Amino acid sequence: MLVGLASAVAHAVPPGTPDEIRDRLQPFGSLCRSGDDCGQPAAAAATGPLSGEQVYNQFCFACHSSGVGGAPVLGDAAGWEPRIAQGIETLLDHTINGIRTMPARGTCVSCSDEDLKGAMQYMVDAVQAQ
């Protein structure tokens, strides 16, 4: 009995016409590897370091616009003055290495120290401009 069942399954044909079966067996997507010409426009090359405002808008705003985790809010003198009083070098050290709930490099692992310094200075300037 088991041999008869195996024989019937081995000779079973999937439902549909040969074209429908072929269509179902097509790959769902495709893979484009770096360096391959996959019909996509080439990504624009970086044009140099980001401005402090660009770094802030891309990486820092998530916490420093709302105070997440105790982050001083951009432009809030009361939140920034005690930090500024510690000195720019200390602020830069905290920016690069992290402090309390702030992760190292503020989550911008691709930012240079100069990019981070620019973002820090942008935030300090927002307080000092008032």
Domain extent at residue 96: 52-128
Cα–Cα–Cα angle for 89, 95, 96, rounded to 5 degrees: 90
Measured CA to CA, the distance from residue 41 to residue 35 in angstroms comes to 12
The answer to whether 56 and 122 have CB atoms below 8 angstroms apart is yes
Domain assignment of residue 43, yes or no: no
Domain assignment of residue 60, yes or no: yes
Closest CA to 95 of 80, 76, 116, 66: 116
Does the pTM surpass 0.75? The reply is no
Domain assignment of residue 3, yes or no: no
| Number of domains, the chain | 1
Domain assignment of residue 20, yes or no: no
DSSP, res 99: B
Domain assignment of residue 64, yes or no: yes
Domain assignment of residue 83, yes or no: yes
Measured CA to CA, the distance from residue 67 to residue 123 in angstroms comes to 13
Query: CATH number for the domain including 79?
Result: 1.10.760.10
Domain assignment of residue 39, yes or no: no
Per-residue pLDDT of the chain (130 residues; tens, 9 = 90+): 555 555 555 566 668 888 888 888 887 777 777 777 776 655 544 566 789 999 999 999 999 999 999 999 999 999 999 999 999 999 999 999 999 999 999 889 889 999 999 999 999 999 987 7
Four-residue CA torsion sign, 9, 14, 15, 17: negative
Domain assignment of residue 47, yes or no: no
**End-to-end Cα separation, the chain, in angstroms:** 89
